[in-house]
């Protein structure tokens, strides 16, 4: 079950913003299954991108906080740059397609 770049980035971003978020909350926010979130979290922890720690004062010791490691912060930046490049290419492609459609429809190009 490979992790696509956009999901990868969104998980890292959400964890950096809200380290105490639960896997269930992540699944809901990302629109993916809880099982996929659990799989992704285990992979991120194994790669050393995220560190999980129990809340010390929480009566429910099953609650974790997820912290990006320095390596995780670097990875989030790397993925963000890749996504930026990809989205910029998609944007340019859409602009070309729109120009062609305007031309085909006989509309004046902007």
Express each pLDDT in 93-108 by its tens digit: 999 999 999 999 998 7
- The Cα 51–Cα 58 span in angstroms is 18
CB 23 within 8 A of CB 11: no
State pTM to two decimals.
0.75
Output the pLDDT for position 54: 74
As a whole number of angstroms, the longest Cα–Cα distance in the chain is: 68
pLDDT of residue 1: 46
Per residue in 34-50, pLDDT tens? 999 999 999 999 999 99
Residue 15: exposure state from Cβ atoms within 10 A (0-12, 13-18, ≥19): buried
User: Which CATH code for domain 5-81?
Assistant: 1.10.10.10
pLDDT in tens, 67-91: 999 999 999 999 999 999 999 999 9
Please tell me the distance from the alpha carbon of residue 45 to that of residue 70, in angstroms, as a whole number. 13
By residue count, the chain amounts to 110
Q: Where are the domains of the chain?
A: 5-81
């Amino acid at each position: 079950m490979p992790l696509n770049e956009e999901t990868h980035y969104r998980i890292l971003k959400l964890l950096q913003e809200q380290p105490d978020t639960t896997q269930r909350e992540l699944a809901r926010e990302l629109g993916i299954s809880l099982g996929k979130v659990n799989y992704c979290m285990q992979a991120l922890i194994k790669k050393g991108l995220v560190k999980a720690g129990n809340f010390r004062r929480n009566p429910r010791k099953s609650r974790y906080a997820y912290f990006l490691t320095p390596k995780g912060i670097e990875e989030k930046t790397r993925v963000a740059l890749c996504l930026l490049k990809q989205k910029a290419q998609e944007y340019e492609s859409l602009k070309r397609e729109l120009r062609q459609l305007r031309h085909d429809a006989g509309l004046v190009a902007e």
